[in-house]
Structure 1
Amino acid sequence: MPDASASAPSAPGPSAPGPETSGGDSPSVGATIELEGLTKQYPGSALPAVDNVTMDFKEGETVILVGPSGCGKSTLLKMINRLIEPTAGRIRIGGEDVTDMDPVRLRRKIGYAIQASGLFPHMTVAQNIALVPKMLRWPSARVRARVEEMLDLVGLDPGEFHGRYPRQLSGGQQQRVGVARALAADPPVLLMDEPFGAVDPITRDHLQDELIRLQRELHKTIVFVTHDFDEAIKLGDRIAVLRERSHIAQFDTPEAILTNPSDDFVSGFVGAGAALKRLNLSRVRDVEITEYPTVNVDDPLQDIFDRLRSGGTNEVLVLDKQGRPYKWLRRGDMMRAKGSLARAGTLVNDTVTRDATLRDALEAVLTDNTGRVAVTGRRGAYEGVVDVETLMNSVHELLEADRLEAREAQHELQEQRASQTHAEQEGFGGEAKA
């Protein structure tokens, strides 16, 4: 947890955007990042932690740094905002060389989100998010509006969460507030160091979906560190697979790495089941989302029973007071209702958003044993369902595409070998005649 006594501009938790991003109403978009020969050599170490790394990140893209523990990926990330000073090399953001810029001024252009959120425990949610805008002397009304906007952006009800303290939040809620704080002053660059690594798998999936949604709206340049290759595939426009000392093994799109890993080291990260991993490249929004019969938790039991009996369906989805999926309810469950839905039906264990991957959706369907998964929007509101048949059809299409690609590659290889053999025979015949 950050030291409350630390000066806010230099603390690693909240980034401190400066006058460049504080005044206008027009939101900033991403900025290019160029790393040239970036190196970090710690005193007393025989080898550098990061060795001569040169990379370019495009404006508005999400780049994932993935590699084994100790390969220097977090060190590389922290050199971009100079929480760790490089020993050698250059850093350019938006074309501006920031290597020798005052590091506090540099961090005013960069958002920073870390594992376990790094929220100040003695401040409310609103105070945490407002910290940097207040430092920049934004007008009070603008600060209040920005806090409300940021909470809504990350899917938290401002009225419910405004006055809470970090200890009163779940891990996933804390991470959302951490992202809101990093974005509060609208920096063009967002650095994220394993921000979802400390939460449970279901919460992590939903946080990943939220980040995808946010990026679609904001178009920041995001550099994201993870050790989880599945997370890298899901989130990244491009992935940099790093060896020891952050040497680049492969820097390409997720699909290119899955289908054509550069060597055995990268293949080790891809692992088995590359075809199934490609389900992380497709989103729920890419397949058919269908309607499903719904009722509200406050509806009279007789109305729900009549809906089940006359609606041509054996099951309905019960929505809570906020319109979120609550329970799957079958006709037979009504016999156990006894005047209340509290003991009737099966709780909805998991949902997915339109930004979830097809792999997330398939896992949710198989875990829930209902043959379908509810799709939700902002703040968990119900939007429809995706069924197992739709998902399995997508799996079969991917597998068939992989088989076709493999056959084409084999055919091309055979043609190359035949051509090479023919050329060798022609050459041998020419030598014999001579």
Structure 2
Amino acid sequence: MPDSNGVSGANIRLENLTKRYPGSAAPAVDNVSMDIKAGELIVFVGPSGCGKSTTLKMINRLIEPTSGKILINDEDVTNIDPVGLRRKVGYAIQSSGLFPHMTVAQNISLVPKMIGWSKGRVDARVAEMLDLVGLDPTEFRGRYPRQLSGGQQQRVGVARALAADPPVLLMDEPFGAVDPITRDHLQDELIRLQHELHKTIVFVTHDFDEAIKLGDRIAVLRERSHIAQFDTPEAILTNPADDFVSGFVGAGAALKRLNLTRVRDVPVVEVPTAGVDDPLQSIFDIMGSGSVTELLLLDRHNRPYKWLRRGDLMRAKGSLARAGTLVSHHVTDDSTLRDALEAVLTDSAGRVAVTGKKGEYLGVVDMETLMNSVQELLQADRLDAIEHRAELADAAGGQVHREQEGAS
């Protein structure tokens, strides 16, 4: 159950966590300590083989630690039944990990049934979880994994991980096997879910852009999961701890910071709209007024459907069925400005429709809005750099002063 602040997650503390495999000269994970707050989304990012997945799997003891402690809500889980622990910790992996011989409903209901939920409660939870991840229960609950797209399988995998309402969700590169467009949508979906559920999520990726987009804090890991830097995305982008972290940040830090700003944080542009069931004459009246050259046609659920221009109406001949251009791209208000920029750049008119949780139309983001945001980020970077140099200069001056006093 959520606490008074709406947080339903648990705090996690790793103390001197180590994993050494027999016959290995060096440990795979070496003496890792970390505090994770309840309700945080923490991302482990680092090069292949650095031990990030091993560290993740030790939290639910899929891999047993050689030494150290794992505390969840101050309970040392290294001393309890590992099977019971895994039923209390959600786990989602790459390629979903669904059981192919089970239906979607059977996959999602697996853990609730194991822990003794009644049939009525299980059935209601399956429907709730499918609705939560944006899949119609009546359409999907009886399907098998092979009948789903990659993105749909990943959504079901997340639904299964959350089915028993665990306070902790572990995600091991869950979106790594899908195409870039689906991956962006799944990332947006996870952000939306976290706003609603406030779980404690530990997420593993090798993609730094994904880490910036998702993480409340990011742990940049070296070999053996040594922590190079554990901080907010903003802090890592503006003040990387060393050259190793700078290598992950790479060039174009200001553009990467577009992943930190959501569409909901910038003003949207209002454009004329009409519904598919509106009389054709009323649409002509809107388009014939003043400077209106374009109109967004919404479907019966208030979702973006078509862009209509004056010339399209002239060719409509009493019907909008073949008039206009279908909306091929849209972003949600949880999407990042980087997502919006990519969509705008692929649009001939330089704009993209913004939608809410249920796909409903909220407004439009255009190139001017995005360019202004980029300029603001660049200016903020310049000010941060000036401030950082001033701090370094003050520190160096203080050191010289102390050395002079010592010499005298």
Q: Please report the TM-score for the alignment, with normalisation by the length of structure 1.
A: 0.87
**AA partner of residue 25 (structure 2):** A
8 Å CA contact 1:156–1:379 kept in 2: the answer is no
Structure 1 residue 339: Cα displacement: 5.5
**AA partner of residue 139 (structure 1):** S
**AA partner of residue 172 (structure 2):** D
31-40 or 231-240: bigger deviation: 31-40
Residue in structure 2 matched with residue 119 of structure 1 by the alignment: 98
Q: Equivalent of 1:315, from 294, 301, 305? A: 294
Residue in structure 1 matched with residue 196 of structure 2 by the alignment: 217
C-alpha spacing 1:424/1:162, structure 2 compared with 1 (3 Å):
closer
8 Å CA contact 1:155–1:378 kept in 2: the answer is no
Q: Deviations over 1:365-386 (max 9, x none)?
A: 1122322211112232222212
Residue in structure 2 matched with residue 360 of structure 1 by the alignment: 339
Residue in structure 1 matched with residue 303 of structure 2 by the alignment: 324
Q: Deviations over 1:378-407 (max 9, x none)?
A: 232222212221221111111111112222
Q: Deviations over 1:249-277 (max 9, x none)?
A: 11111111111111100000000111111
Q: Does 1:187 align with 2:131?
A: no
C-alpha spacing 1:240/1:419, structure 2 compared with 1 (3 Å):
closer
8 Å CA contact 1:329–1:346 kept in 2: the answer is yes
**AA partner of residue 13 (structure 2):** E
Q: Equivalent of 2:75, from 79, 96, 105? A: 96
Q: Equivalent of 2:118, from 117, 128, 139? A: 139
**AA partner of residue 159 (structure 2):** A
258-267 or 364-373: bigger deviation: 364-373
251-260 or 141-150: bigger deviation: 141-150
Q: Deviations over 1:112-164 (max 9, x none)?
A: 01111112223332222222222233222212221221122112222332333
Which secondary structure state, in structure 1, belongs to the residue aligned with residue 62 of structure 2?
A: coil
Residue in structure 2 matched with residue 391 of structure 1 by the alignment: 370
Which secondary structure state, in structure 1, belongs to the residue aligned with residue 288 of structure 2?
A: helix
166-175 or 317-326: bigger deviation: 317-326
8 Å CA contact 1:63–1:238 kept in 2: the answer is yes
419-428 or 216-225: bigger deviation: 419-428
Q: Does 1:50 align with 2:51?
A: no
8 Å CA contact 1:38–1:54 kept in 2: the answer is yes
Q: Matched residues in 2 for 1:169 and 1:289: separation?
A: 34
Q: Equivalent of 2:14, from 35, 43, 62? A: 35
**AA partner of residue 190 (structure 2):** L
Q: Matched residues in 1 for 2:395 and 2:401: separation?
A: 10
8 Å CA contact 2:294–2:310 kept in 1: the answer is yes
Which secondary structure state, in structure 2, belongs to the residue aligned with residue 52 of structure 1?
A: strand
Which secondary structure state, in structure 1, belongs to the residue aligned with residue 228 of structure 2?
A: strand
Structure 1 residue 208: Cα displacement: 1.1
C-alpha spacing 1:410/1:42, structure 2 compared with 1 (3 Å):
closer
Q: Please report the TM-score for the alignment, with normalisation by the length of structure 2.
A: 0.92
Which secondary structure state, in structure 1, belongs to the residue aligned with residue 296 of structure 2?
A: strand
Q: Matched residues in 2 for 1:162 and 1:176: separation?
A: 12
Q: Matched residues in 1 for 2:358 and 2:276: separation?
A: 18
Which secondary structure state, in structure 1, belongs to the residue aligned with residue 79 of structure 2?
A: coil
174-183 or 410-419: bigger deviation: 410-419
Q: Matched residues in 1 for 2:405 and 2:170: separation?
A: 58
Q: Equivalent of 2:45, from 66, 86, 99? A: 66
**AA partner of residue 317 (structure 1):** L
8 Å CA contact 1:349–1:368 kept in 2: the answer is no
Q: Matched residues in 1 for 2:169 and 2:77: separation?
A: 16
Residue in structure 2 matched with residue 75 of structure 1 by the alignment: 54
8 Å CA contact 1:81–1:107 kept in 2: the answer is yes
Q: Does 1:350 align with 2:319?
A: no
Which secondary structure state, in structure 2, belongs to the residue aligned with residue 378 of structure 1?
A: coil
**AA partner of residue 215 (structure 1):** Q
Q: 5+ unaligned residues in a row in structure 1: which ranges?
A: 1-20, 22-26
Q: Equivalent of 2:256, from 260, 277, 280? A: 277
Q: Deviations over 1:98-125 (max 9, x none)?
A: 1132210111110001111112223332
8 Å CA contact 1:28–1:186 kept in 2: the answer is no
Q: 5+ unaligned residues in a row in structure 2: which ranges?
A: none
Within a 5 Å distance, the mapping from 1:122-201 to structure 2 comes to 122-201=101-180
Q: Matched residues in 2 for 1:69 and 1:339: separation?
A: 60
8 Å CA contact 2:95–2:177 kept in 1: the answer is yes
8 Å CA contact 1:113–1:192 kept in 2: the answer is yes
Q: Does 1:244 align with 2:244?
A: no
Q: Matched residues in 2 for 1:33 and 1:424: separation?
A: 43
Q: Matched residues in 1 for 2:402 and 2:48: separation?
A: 48
Q: Does 1:372 align with 2:359?
A: no
**AA partner of residue 350 (structure 1):** H
C-alpha spacing 1:254/1:299, structure 2 compared with 1 (3 Å):
same
Structure 1 residue 414: Cα displacement: 4.2
8 Å CA contact 2:89–2:169 kept in 1: the answer is yes
**AA partner of residue 225 (structure 2):** S
**AA partner of residue 394 (structure 1):** S
Q: Matched residues in 1 for 2:405 and 2:141: separation?
A: 80
Structure 1 residue 203: Cα displacement: 1.6
Which secondary structure state, in structure 1, belongs to the residue aligned with residue 307 of structure 2?
A: strand
Q: Matched residues in 2 for 1:414 and 1:85: separation?
A: 47
Q: Matched residues in 2 for 1:336 and 1:121: separation?
A: 50
Q: Matched residues in 2 for 1:351 and 1:329: separation?
A: 16
Q: Matched residues in 2 for 1:427 and 1:107: separation?
A: 59
128-137 or 201-210: bigger deviation: 128-137
131-140 or 412-421: bigger deviation: 412-421
**AA partner of residue 208 (structure 1):** Q
